[in-house]
A = this chain, B = another copy of it.
Amino acid sequence: MIKLIALYKQPKDKEAFDEHYFNVHGPITEKIPGLQRMEVTKIVGTPMGKESDYYILCEMYYENHEALQNGMRSAEGKASGKDLMGFAGDLVTLMIGEEV
């Protein structure tokens, strides 16, 4: 399996971030063709008991690289990317990963 990973830094306004992330961005992203599973993890701290620099880790699973590329190039994928850059372009780090 291949996954697109989105790691978000702590937003200044968590309430506004959550509102947009869960009610707008999530529903747009879920419609991307080829997306098999989306796993959202809220970062709640570090093992040292400190607050993390990061807020959310989202993992979007696709069957293979081609499916991921096709998904990102689709109308839904472009809408999700545009929305992402609008509300969290300065907070997000995107990575493509292969499960070992």
Question: Which residues from chain A sit less than 8 Å from chain B, CB to CB?
Answer: 3-5, 7, 39-48, 52-54, 57, 72, 81, 93-100
Copies in the complex: 2
Please report the C-alpha to C-alpha distance between residue A95 and residue B57 in the assembled complex, in whole angstroms.
10
Q: A42 touching B98 by the CB < 8 A rule?
A: yes
Q: Do A97 and B57 have beta carbons less than 8 Å apart?
A: yes
On whether the beta carbons of B99 and A41 are closer than 8 Å, the reply is: yes
The majority secondary structure among interface residues of chain A is strand
* Chain B residue with the shortest CB-CB distance to A72: B47
> What residues of chain B lie closer than 8 Å to A99, measured between beta carbons?
39-41
- Write out the residue numbers on chain B whose beta carbons fall within 8 Å of the beta carbon of A57: 5, 95, 97
For residue A39, give the distance in angstroms from its CB to the closest CB of chain B.
Answer: 7
